Every structure is written in structure tokens, then in C-alpha cells.
């Protein structure tokens, strides 16, 4: 289900990622070993007073191609910023305006108003979207008072906060949550929803055109809930399929204009609405940190995932090339070796006809339900093969397991003490389940529950 998006904007070092971590908390990401994801997570689902939303730290969003966000953050000058740099933060603000529902503009109460702040404020004053001004590093009474200075930015009341100490953040979130719009939900429908996501120029629009050109029985394009979003509905082998946010895909497909470079927030929304995410990469470029971010977000949201390696026509190949590519891409996306890769060319249409078929297969896998007897057999065999871990003399015992849900598949495993379940043992059990049934392209959830001995 799509959640409203809250974007944190502001120049580097004001404390965006500190606030982000405080609000998002420490949620265990299932793919925490992916490169550049835990260390520098940019999106998280959070809630305040039971109101859920997606929080985005725009500070980490890579707008300039080929420049590492972390490195850029490190070299970013404080206060007076270079022309390039000032353009960049204005662009960040612009992206937030386009895609977010509420914008939290963060400034530094220790520094006072800087040129960078004024730039962002100039952009933000022009939007109709709600903007909440957070004056961070207001660690003491003097600085909380000094924060009043930010009234001058013309964005209403500055909320003094200390992301570091956690003071004032509650009041800030109260206001943010109050200003979130009601998100209209799309009417329930059985169609398989596919989001095609990838960096600019990887070939998303070309794929879309190839798919639409091939399939004569397009039913309709239906406006999505996001402003400007157009979902394309079609029948594929008599099954209803919706390609999400094709307007966004086409828009990005056009000649690049500044901020349309990579609309991560738009991609997030598409992921939230999707059942299956088709992550497209360019065969000649490989996997970027941004791709890894999107993949980990999709998996965190328990969506089906497939990788499309496009522009395969450009690769000089011999018998081993596909194998070598597969290994390299799998290494880049570390733990997701159960995600299918498809080598395609949107240009020559090589294997384009397989794309939707693979997505349908993944969707079927998400709905597989293993009988309880089978699950227990798998778990018992796993336990026999690999001694159960113990901690300070207590040994883990597994009593019983069952598949509790589908889409995503959830396995409930009843044990004597959930504290005794290590991350490595959890992964071992997941691998054992997958060895029995592969769940192609499908994240599976293992939930451990305490049951007393009887
Ligand atoms: P970002 O670049 O905007 O994401 O900023 P960071 O979150 O990385 O914070 C930049 C620096 O400011 C770090 O050294 C933080 O520890 C520090 N910082 C963040 N919030 C606070 C705060 O509320 N008070 C103080 N004194 N320092 C803070
Ligand atoms: P988008 O920004 O991801 O929508 O990418 P486009 O579909 O606009 O494609 C960007 C460029 O790559 C265009 O010049 C396409 O013609 C080209 N392109 C797309 N797919 C392929 C492919 O499979 N092979 C080759 N050689 N070029 C492609």
C-alpha cells in the first residue's frame, strides 16, 4: 500500500541523517549486507502516533551521476557553498517538492541562516506542499531561542529540535503527521502490478514501448493515485497486468532536464504499489549503489524482485559471457541469489517477451503455500544437520513450524526462546526452506515465536 512521503531536505551537516535514524529507528533490514545500504539508508517506513509514512533522507540521494553521495557529503562546504553545490541543494529541494507530501526543511540553529538555507527557502516558498521548518542542534535554551531567527526564511514557525538528544522531535512529528494528506487507495484489483525501475537511460521507456507494441490487447491506461501517474493495464496470456507509473517512465525517458535525472521518490511510490519490481540495469554499466538501494527497499517491503539486464545486444559475447555477468551481478546484489536475472535487449526485442512471464511466475511463487507437514519435515531435517545454537548453557529448541501467510510467504517457527535465534541460524533455515522450495524472486519472512514447553 502506498504511504505518504515525508522528505528531509537541507544542506549537508545540519543533521538530516541523525534525525532520520532517530525517527526510523533500528529496523533489521533483511538485506543489511548489501553495499551502501545500512550504513547509508535513505528511506524507511516509520510511524508517529499510529500514522504511517515513508521517510526519505534526500541528503543521500545521488543527483549527480557518478558522484558518490557519501563522498560528496564529506566534501560539502559548510556555510558559503560553491555554485555547483548550491545548484545541487536547490535541485534536491525541487525533487522533494515534486514527489513528497510533506517537506521537512532542516536548518542548523548553531550556524544561523546561511546562503545555502536561503537558496532552499526560495525554492520551497513557491510550493503549495506543506513545509515544516526544523531548527536542529537546538540543544539548549539559548539555541532554542536563537532558532526564532529562522522566521526570516518566510516559511512559518521554526521548530527547535535536537536530533542528537531527541528533544523537540515529538512536537515536530505532531505537526508533520497533522499535515499529511489522506492517501487515496487504488480500488482492490487482482491484476499483477509490475513496476519497472532503473536509472535514466537504462532503457525503461524502450522496454515499455516494446511490450506495448507486442501486445495488441491493451485494455486501458488508468490514472494512478500519484499526481501525473499513469498505470497501463493490459492482458498478457489472458491474465490482467498493470504496468505502474508508465507516465513517470516516459517522462524520464525524454531528454534529461536537471531534476528529472533520477526520481527516487517516484520509484519508491511505484515499488510500494507493485507486487513485482523489475529492476533494470544497463549491461555495460552494471549495478550502482542506487540500484542496490532500490533493491533493498523492494525486499524490505516484501515485494517480488527480478533484474533485467538490458542492452544485451551491445555486449560482445562468447559462451561464458552470460555466466560471468550473472556472477558479477549476483556478487553486487549479495544475498539475493534467488532473484532471477533476464538478459534482454529492448532494442532488438531479444527475450522481451519473457519479461511479463517471469513476473507472473514470481507472483505465483509469492502465493505458494507449503503444507505444514512439509514445513516441519524441512525444519526437522535442517535441525538434524546443523546443531541448534546455544547461549550461556541454554540451547535453542524448535517445536513446530508452519506457513502462516502468503504474499509474502511467512513462516512461523515456535521455539523455547527467541533470544537464542542468531541471524546466521535464521539465514540457514531460510536457505533450507529455499532448498526445498525455491520461491523464485520472492522474499520470505521467518517469524520466531516463543512457546513454553509442555
Ligand atoms: P546531514 O549531513 O544533514 O545528514 O547531517 P548529519 O546527521 O550527518 O549530522 C552532521 C553532524 O551534526 C554530525 O556530527 C552529528 O552528530 C551532528 N548533529 C546532528 N544533530 C545534532 C544535534 O541535534 N545537536 C548537535 N550538537 N549536533 C548534532
Ligand atoms: P529510460 O530513460 O530508462 O526510459 O531509457 P530509454 O528507453 O529512453 O533508452 C535510453 C537510450 O538507450 C535510448 O537511446 C535507447 O534507444 C537506448 N536503448 C534502450 N534499450 C536498448 C537496448 O536494449 N540496446 C541498445 N543498444 N540501446 C538501447
Separation CA 89–CA 10 (nearest Å): 7
Helix (H, G, I), strand (E, B) or coil at 414: strand
Looking at per-residue pLDDT, the higher value among 63 and 450 belongs to 450
Ligand number nearest CA of 73 is: 1
Question: What's the mean per-residue pLDDT of the chain?
Answer: 82
Q: What integer pLDDT is reported at residue 360 of this predicted model?
A: 97
Locate the ligand 2 atom nearest the alpha carbon of residue 250 and give its number: 4
How many angstroms does the Cα of residue 34 sit away from the middle of ligand 1? 25
Does the pLDDT of residue 210 top 50, yes or no? yes
**144 is written with which cell numbers?**
532554542
β strands within 312-359, DSSP E: 341-343
In 368-407, alpha helices (H): 372-385
- Reduce the secondary structure of 207-229 to three states and give it as a string: HHHHHHHHCCCEEEEEECCCCCC
Contacts of 174 (CB under 8 A, 6+ apart): 48, 49
Q: Which residues line ligand 1 (CB under 6 A)?
A: 10, 12-18, 59, 73, 136-137, 139, 162-164
Contact 412, 402 (CB under 8 A): yes
**Alpha-carbon dihedral sign for residues 173, 175, 181, 182:** positive
Query: If you average pLDDT over residues 367-371, what whole number do you get?
Result: 96
pTM: 0.74
> Within a 10 A sphere around the Cβ of 165, how many other Cβ atoms?
13
379: Cα separation from own chain's centroid = 31
Find the range with the poorest average confidence among 52-61, 161-170, 301-310.
52-61
Q: 36 CB contacts (<8 Å, ≥6 apart)?
A: 70, 289, 292, 293
- Would you state the pLDDT for residue 229? 62
373 CA → ligand 2 middle, Å: 49
Nearest CA to ligand 1 atom 11: 13
Which of the ligands is closest to the CA of residue 72?
A: 1
pLDDT of 408 above 70: yes
Atom of ligand 2 nearest to the CA of 344: 23
Separation of CA 96 and ligand 2 centre (Å): 27
- Looking at per-residue pLDDT, the higher value among 369 and 89 belongs to 369
Residue nearest to atom 20 of ligand 2 (CA): 203
Spatial separation of the C-alpha atoms in residues 389 and 40, rounded to whole Å: 31
pLDDT (0 to 100) of residue 151:
94
How many residues are recorded in the chain? Answer: 454
C-alpha–C-alpha distance, residues 129 and 96, integer Å: 10
Is 249 or 102 the better-scoring residue by pLDDT?
Answer: 102
Task: Supply the pLDDT for residue 168.
Answer: 95
Amino acid at each position: 500500500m502506498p504511504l505518504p512521503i515525508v522528505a528531509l531536505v537541507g544542506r549537508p551537516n545540519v543533521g538530516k541523517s541523525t534525525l532520520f535514524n532517530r525517527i526510523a529507528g533500528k529496523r533489521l533490514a533483511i538485506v543489511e549486507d548489501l553495499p551502501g545500504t545500512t550504513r547509508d539508508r535513505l528511506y524507511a517506513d516509520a510511524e508517529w502516533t499510529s500514522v504511517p509514512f515513508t521517510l526519505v533522507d534526500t541528503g543521500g540521494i545521488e543527483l549527480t551521476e557518478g558522484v558518490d553521495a557519501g563522498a560528496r557529503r564529506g566534501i560539502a562546504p559548510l556555510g558559503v557553498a560553491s555554485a555547483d553545490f548550491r545548484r545541487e541543494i536547490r535541485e534536491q529541494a525541487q525533487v522533494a517538492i515534486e514527489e513528497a507530501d510533506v517537506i521537512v526543511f532542516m536548518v542548523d540553529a548553531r550556524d544561523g541562516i546561511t546562503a545555502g538555507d536561503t537558496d532552499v527557502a526560495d525554492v520551497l516558498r513557491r510550493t503549495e506542499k506543506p513545509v515544516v521548518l526544523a531548527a536542529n542542534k537546538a540543544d539548549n535554551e539559548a539555541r532554542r531561542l536563537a532558532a526564532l531567527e529562522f522566521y526570516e526564511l518566510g516559511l512559518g514557525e521554526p521548530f527547535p529540535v535536537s536530533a542528537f538528544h531527541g528533544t523537540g522531535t515529538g512536537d515536530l512529528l505532531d505537526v508533520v503527521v497533522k499535515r499529511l494528506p489522506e492517501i487515496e487507495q487504488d480500488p482492490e484489483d487482482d491484476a499483477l502490478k509490475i513496476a519497472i525501475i532503473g536509472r535514466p537511460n537504462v532503457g525503461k521507456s524502450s522496454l515499455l514501448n516494446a511490450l506495448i507494441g507486442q501486445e495488441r490487447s491493451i485494455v486501458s491506461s488508468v490514472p494512478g493515485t500519484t499526481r501525473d501517474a499513469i498505470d497501463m493495464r493490459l492482458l498478457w496470456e489472458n491474465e490482467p497486468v498493470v504496468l505502474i507509473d508508465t507516465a513517470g517512465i516516459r517522462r524520464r525517458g525524454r531528454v534529461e532536464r536537471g531534476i528529472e535525472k533520477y526520481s527516487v521518490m517516484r520509484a519508491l511510490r511505484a515499488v510500494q504499489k507493485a507486487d513485482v519490481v523489475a529492476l533494470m540495469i544497463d549491461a555495460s554499466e552494471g549495478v550502482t549503489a542506487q540500484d542496490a538501494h532500490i533493491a533493498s527497499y523492494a525486499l524490505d517491503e516484501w515485494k517480488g524482485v527480478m533484474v533485467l539486464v538490458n542492452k544485451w545486444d551491445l555486449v560482445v559475447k562468447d559462451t561464458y559471457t552470460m555466466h560471468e555477468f550473472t556472477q558479477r551481478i549476483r556478487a553486487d546484489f549479495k544475498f539475493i541469489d534467488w532473484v532471477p536475472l533476464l538478459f534482454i535487449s529492448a532494442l532488438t526485442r531479444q527475450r522481451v517477451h519473457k519479461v511479463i512471464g517471469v513476473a507472473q511466475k514470481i507472483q505465483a511463487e509469492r502465493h505458494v503455500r507449503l503444507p505444514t507437514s512439509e514445513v516441519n519435515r524441512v525444519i526437522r531435517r535442517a535441525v538434524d544437520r546443523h546443531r541448534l545454537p546455544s547461549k550461556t548453557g541454554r540451547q535453542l529448541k524448535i517445536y513446530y513450524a508452519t506457513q502462516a501467510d502468503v504474499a509474502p510467504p511467512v513462516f512461523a517457527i515456535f521455539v523455547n526462546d527467541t533470544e537464542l535465534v542468531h541471524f546466521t541460524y535464521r539465514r540457514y533455515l531460510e536457505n533450507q526452506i529455499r532448498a526445498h522450495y525455491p520461491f523464485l524472486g520472492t522474499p520470505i519472512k521467518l517469524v520466531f515465536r516463543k512457546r513454553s514447553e509442555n
